Amino acid sequence: MTINIVRAVELPIDSVQRIAQEASDDGHNMVQRLVDAWLDESNRFNLAGEALYLAIHTPTHTIVGVGGLNIDPYERDAAAVGRVRHVFISPAYRRLGIGNKLMHKIIETSIASFGTLQLRTHDSQADAFYQALGFESTHDPNRPWCTHRMNLK
């Protein structure tokens, strides 16, 4: 199976809507939030250090995963902190290494611009996934916007 991780300059809304529906069916609304923010132009992943990636099944040109990197809007020194956003892999393509490949690309991109990378999840499978990638679980009640953190420098 050939999966390519590509940086999105434009978001193919029709193609992403399918995976947004899969995410919704799976109990997650992060991909729909991504689509909504793209359409209203509140988040285009186009500030310094930011990126949006699509995991594409090459033979069929189907988007099977998505994930982004933003400057963390919750931090005072936001320019030094990157935030992992809207990571989702289609259920039919999970446990094939696609999430790892996508996250490694996000981490690789973040190293050039940020000293720290963080995210928030309340999903136990995602918690284990991020810890396996090297993120530390934080769960600080004074910082509810951050459940996982990785020092990059």
Spatial CB neighbours of 141, under 8 Å, sequence gap ≥ 6? none
Task: Count CB neighbours of 4 within 10 A.
Answer: 12
* C-alpha 146, offset from chain centre: 14
* pLDDT band with cut points at 50, 70 and 90 for residue 140: confident
Q: Give the up-direction half-sphere exposure of residue 110: CA atoms within 13 A in the CB hemisphere.
A: 33
* Per-residue pLDDT tens digits for 80-133: 999 999 999 999 999 999 999 999 999 999 999 999 999 999 899 999 999 999
How many CB atoms are located within 10 Å of the residue 76 CB?
7
Q: How far is Cα 65 from Cα 40, in angstroms, rounded to an integer? A: 22
For the record, the structure tokens of 116 come out as: 């720290």
- Whether 89 and 102 have beta carbons less than 8 Å apart is answered as yes
CA–CA gap between residue 103 and residue 69 (Å, rounded) = 10
Pick the CATH number of 3-151 from 3.40.50.9100, 3.30.429.10, 3.40.630.30, 1.25.40.10: 3.40.630.30
Residue 143's pLDDT is: 87
Q: What are the φ and ψ backbone dihedral angles of 99, each rounded to 5 degrees?
A: -60, -40
Nearest-CA neighbor of 64 among 41, 80, 87? 87
Q: 61-86, pLDDT tens digit by residue?
A: 999 999 999 999 998 876 799 999 99
